[in-house]
Structure 1
Amino acid sequence: MSKQKIYKLLIGTNNRGKLKEIKSLLPKKIKIHSTSEFNLKSPVENGKTFKENSLIKSKYFSKKTGLICLADDSGLEIDFLGKSPGIYSARWGGRHGDFNKAIRRVYRELNKKDKNWKKKKIKARFICALSISNLNKKIACVLGKVEGYISNEPKGKNGFGYDPIFIPLKKRKTFGEMEPSQKYKMDHRYQAFKKIRKFL
């Protein structure tokens, strides 16, 4: 395990929502760089798991910039749909990552499976894999998750991605209806962060 202190860190994502959330969780002493500063496109994510895809990104961006990189791979698993969309969560939004389109597809797939799905509790979870790499070397890779269920309709304009249709356990509001400060203290990214903090 590396004991070196990290003072400069590249966040390996081109997703502005993720960048904002990760920045809010990082210690203030760390100078943060984003992939947009280097005009880097994301690599092909051909891993079979969230952890594999996270590592593909952190190693790729670290090698491209020479900076230590923290990358996230996250998504939504819906039990009723055989854990789909899972690692393909972003891809359900099509080439341009349109999450309104992705959310419509979730509802379409649920309807195909069972016309009365709205009368049931559709269990789901958000999963986040966070990894830190220095060039080709993995420093850490952890997994965080938050359990919940699917809302009958999209609610709320906050957050990003599938936030408007995900209600965490023991809550009544979707992530999309919550204030970011409330969501950031409980979601999958926060759970993963608690595990990776000691490496920073």
Structure 2
Amino acid sequence: MARRFSGPRLVVATHNRGKAAEIGHLLGDAAIDVVSAAELGLAAPEETGATFEDNATLKARAAALEAGLPALADDSGLCVAALDGQPGVITADWEGPTRDAMVGMARIQRELTARGVPESPEARRATFVCVLALAWPDGHCELVRGEMPGHIVWPPRGTQGHGYDPTFQPQGSALTCAEMDPAAKSAISHRGNAFRKLIAACF
């Protein structure tokens, strides 16, 4: 049985404004005061885990301990089958030191081209993964995982969303994530799937 969240305030352990806004939207119906780690001036721990689960747990526990409040962390990334699951847990690192998503998208395209991967949905299969960790100051942590299958497209399309959304076309859709209305994206996204699991279990 999962531990249930109770209390008026939840820390979202992120310094990424796009991600914080998306998480706030996904928790909108829960009547919780959501505050980001950046707003509280919390340090961002080094993400040294080998899996999404490791990194989400590390971030959530660090924020919960420092803030003295329950904290929610997300660790997510893009796993491209033809690149042996890369960039995976280091998806953000592929964006370079300035964290420019266009740099990361261009690198994926270069790597696929270098390996001679054809421009077909089957050959360019990819999965967006999101793991959510909800931690309490006593160290207890609940984990859920959501996934969204699809494929890599080039050139990037769309101006909605954030990160690698312009280069990812979900399975069964004619649009990239960046061409979708935010509500339509949340209905099928890896993060939306993970949040529905978390809300059902803990809220």
Same fold (TM over 0.5): yes
- Residue 4 of structure 1: how far off its partner (Å): 5.0
- Deviation readout 1:132-166 (Å, 9 max, x if unpaired): 00125233111100100111210001101110010
Quick check: 2:3–2:142 contact (8 Å CA) kept in 1? no
Distance change (3 Å), C-alpha of 1:66 and 1:93: same
Q: Which residue of 2 aligns with 1:181?
A: 183
Distance change (3 Å), C-alpha of 1:6 and 1:155: same
Q: Find the partner of 1:148 among 139, 147, 150.
A: 150
Structure 1 residues without counterparts, runs of 5 or longer: none
With the length of structure 2 as denominator, give the TM-score of the two structures: 0.93
- Residue 119 of structure 1: how far off its partner (Å): 4.3
- Residue 57 of structure 1: how far off its partner (Å): 0.3
- Deviation readout 1:56-110 (Å, 9 max, x if unpaired): 0000111111111000000000000000000010010112211111111111101
Q: Which residue of 1 aligns with 2:59?
A: 57
- Residue 30 of structure 1: how far off its partner (Å): 0.6
Distance 1:120 1:170 in 2: 11
Distance 2:121 2:171 in 1: 15
1:29 aligns with 2:41: no
Please report the RMSD computed on the Cα atoms of aligned residues, expressed in angstroms. 1.4
Structure 2 residues without counterparts, runs of 5 or longer: none
Which residues in structure 2 correspond to 1:13-162 (within 5 Å)?
13-26=14-27, 27-114=29-116, 117-119=118-120, 121=122, 122-162=124-164
Structure 1 runs of 4+ off > 6 angstroms? Answer: none
Distance 1:128 1:79 in 2: 16
Question: How many matched pairs?
Answer: 199
Distance 2:138 2:98 in 1: 29
Distance 1:140 1:129 in 2: 10
Distance 1:4 1:129 in 2: 17
Distance 2:150 2:133 in 1: 24
1:199 aligns with 2:202: yes
